[in-house]
A and B are shown apart, each in its own frame.
Chain A
Amino acid sequence: MTVRIVFLFLILAVPFRDAWSQPLLADLSHHMIAIQTDFQGQDLILFGTLDAALGPEDDLVIVVKGPSETLDVRQKGRQGRVWLNEKVVRFENIPSFYHIYRYGSLTSLSDATLARQELTLDRMKLNTKDPQNPFRLALVNSKKRWGLYKEDTTSIVFRGPHLFRADVDFPVRVKTGQYSVTVYLFKKGEIIAAQTTPLMISKDGIGADIFFFAHTHAFWYGVLAIVLALFSGWMAFVIMRKRSL
């Protein structure tokens, strides 16, 4: 019995003898993005290695997923002469951020695999499965316009057969919270390896202090806002009076 277990361990351990024999290894240039008052969006570099070069039927896919949020999509309609909101569809707990970077055509992947890992924007689980649903379409298009949803085929670049890198861009509208970066390696439609790396986006500096203060001591925040406004209004009055005298 013990001999069998040791034997099993040996078999399992063989592929992990050293780093080079792992099918996929990847990491991010930073695991933390700080949103300060001069934040303009930020690019991160994801780099990694494969133990074997990609064949024509192989695919490498990176999925970056942001914290979830709830959004309403409103449709306007005409009633009489006026355009007003007629119908609202709520999308609950959808990713606020979803970027898909891929290298390879994905043609050898089955529909089930694409849907399970949500490897294209059309296959994301957003209320309805129909990607042509007008409300869903409006949501995805808005997200794309803000740079929050993206499908990209050019960012993953290979340096030689094993080494790759990808530029992951976080636009200025990113939500703060926990992000995850998952790299998938498919060979002939079968998943070989997957690796997930966490990423934290948070506010930092005076902006973070203001935000924190506003949410933890809402009453005193309001009082401070009023006092600051009264003070600057008084200052303006004093300066104006000196000028006019």
Chain B
Amino acid sequence: MDLYFPIAEMSINVFLVLGLGMIGGIASGLFGVGGGFLMTPMLIFVGVPPTVAVATQANQLVAASVSGFLGHWRRGHVDVKMGGVLLVGGILGSWVGVALFSWLKRMGHIDLVISLCYVVFLGSLALFMLIESVGFMLRTPQNGTVSVKTRRDFHHHPWLLSLPFMMRFPKSKLYISALLPAMIGFFVGILVSLMGIGGGFLMVPAMIYLLGMPVHMVPGTSLFQITFVTAMVTLLQSVQNQTVDMMLAMVLILGSVVGAQLGIKIAPRIRGERLRFILALIVLGVCGQMLAGLLLKPASLFAVVPVR
């Protein structure tokens, strides 16, 4: 059954769109990530214009992140103050990112930059995760005592303590410079508008390793920030480019809700390091695809693109 999506201006099979949403949802239920890094490339692969895919994906992420956020909020695992500082940086970053996006689009190099962002940022993260999880899987059978560096080892850099605007974050039991989370939010915000992803994937490790936040506070706080950033990107894209396809977003949301349920049910049956291993493989696959697009001779040297 095909549906004509009015903003994408094309017919796509409904079950294909539901399936895409479900894959994203399973990923988010299993790994606690938004799934945008999977869904945006898949939408583009199906034939949705990249500008519509990125904007619509932001709309879908609003739904995905708010339902996750509510779950963490109920357990009291959200540091609103920290989230607020991250958000200030994120909003500034996404403004810069949107400006960068249109500048790169004019220069004709937006595809290259998107691909490079995926390969460099997601690729290095996935590689790190792969090595860590393989090491973990190899070590665990012998004895249970694995030396894990505590988060304190990572964030006690002298220069971090000498930054101005020191702020107390009672929920996270931290006393650090507000510039640090703002900078993380800013940097992730730029990547969000360039790559059409929620950014939790990049923000979560930064919050654990750079800020030294308690691990249980991290997902809820990052989802809190992502909800607002994706909502703002949705509004910006609607006003500036009219590229948010509400109908496409709703079908994707429906699929991802079902997928998230499945993911949450499967998650407890798989060990944590295996999950990270699988996630790393999937992300490396996406990055490999992008890298191949950059390095291999394309099937057609020409591309026809509409000018808005």
Bound CA span A217–B302, Å: 36
Give every chain A residue within 8 A of B236 (Cβ-Cβ). 222
Asked if A218 lies at the interface with its beta carbon under 8 angstroms from chain B, I say yes
B63 near A229: Cβ-Cβ < 8 Å: yes
- Out of A143, A225, A237, A243, name the residue touching B67 (CB < 8 Å): A237
Give every chain B residue within 8 A of A157 (Cβ-Cβ). none
Give every chain B residue within 8 A of A203 (Cβ-Cβ). 6
A-B contact count (CB 8 A): 177
B303 near A73: Cβ-Cβ < 8 Å: yes
Asked if B178 lies at the interface with its beta carbon under 8 angstroms from chain A, I say no
A83 near B302: Cβ-Cβ < 8 Å: no
Which of B209-217, B272-280, B292-300 makes up part of the contact surface?
B292-300
Which of B107-115, B123-131, B190-198 makes up part of the contact surface?
B107-115
B253 near A232: Cβ-Cβ < 8 Å: yes
- Out of B4, B10, B244, B250, name the residue touching A214 (CB < 8 Å): B244
Asked if B235 lies at the interface with its beta carbon under 8 angstroms from chain A, I say yes
Bound CA span A236–B234, Å: 20
Chain B residues 229 to 277 lying within 8 A of chain A, measured CB to CB, are 231, 234-239, 242, 244, 246-247, 249-250, 253-254, 257, 260-261, 264
Asked if A223 lies at the interface with its beta carbon under 8 angstroms from chain B, I say yes
Asked if A40 lies at the interface with its beta carbon under 8 angstroms from chain B, I say yes
| Given A40-B11, A83-B297, A240-B67: A225 touches B304 (CB 8 Å cut-off) | no
For A69, give the chain B residue with the smallest CB separation: B306
Of B64, B302, B303, the most chain A CB neighbours within 10 A belong to B302
Say how far A209's CB is from chain B's closest CB, in angstroms.
Answer: 8
Chain A residues 24 to 69 lying within 8 A of chain B, measured CB to CB, are 35-40, 69
We find that the number of chain A residues with CB closer than 8 angstroms to chain B is: 61
- Out of A36, A134, A222, name the residue touching B244 (CB < 8 Å): A222
B307 near A71: Cβ-Cβ < 8 Å: yes
B4 near A37: Cβ-Cβ < 8 Å: yes
Say how far A243's CB is from chain B's closest CB, in angstroms.
Answer: 8
B4 near A225: Cβ-Cβ < 8 Å: no
Convert A127-160 into 0s and 1s, putting 1 for each residue whose CB lies closer than 8 angstroms to a CB of B: 0000000110011001100000000000000000
Convert A216-231 into 0s and 1s, putting 1 for each residue whose CB lies closer than 8 angstroms to a CB of B: 0011011111101110
Bound CA span A226–B3, Å: 22
Give every chain B residue within 8 A of A74 (Cβ-Cβ). 108, 302-305
Asked if A198 lies at the interface with its beta carbon under 8 angstroms from chain B, I say no
B295 near A236: Cβ-Cβ < 8 Å: no
| Given A39-B4, A232-B250: A83 touches B294 (CB 8 Å cut-off) | yes
A226 near B62: Cβ-Cβ < 8 Å: yes
Say how far B49's CB is from chain A's closest CB, in angstroms.
Answer: 11
- Which A residues form the contact surface with B (CB < 8 A)? 35-40, 69-78, 81-85, 88, 90, 134-135, 138-139, 142-143, 172-173, 175, 203, 206-208, 210-211, 214-215, 218-219, 221-226, 228-230, 232-237, 239-241, 243
List 5 tightest A-B contacts by C-beta distance, closest first. Answer: A222-B238, A138-B302, A233-B66, A229-B62, A233-B63
18 more contacts with CB within 8 A, not counting A85-B303, A219-B235, are A38-B3, A39-B4, A39-B11, A69-B306, A70-B306, A71-B305, A84-B294, A172-B11, A173-B9, A214-B246, A225-B249, A229-B231, A230-B231, A233-B63, A234-B66, A234-B70, A236-B257, A237-B70
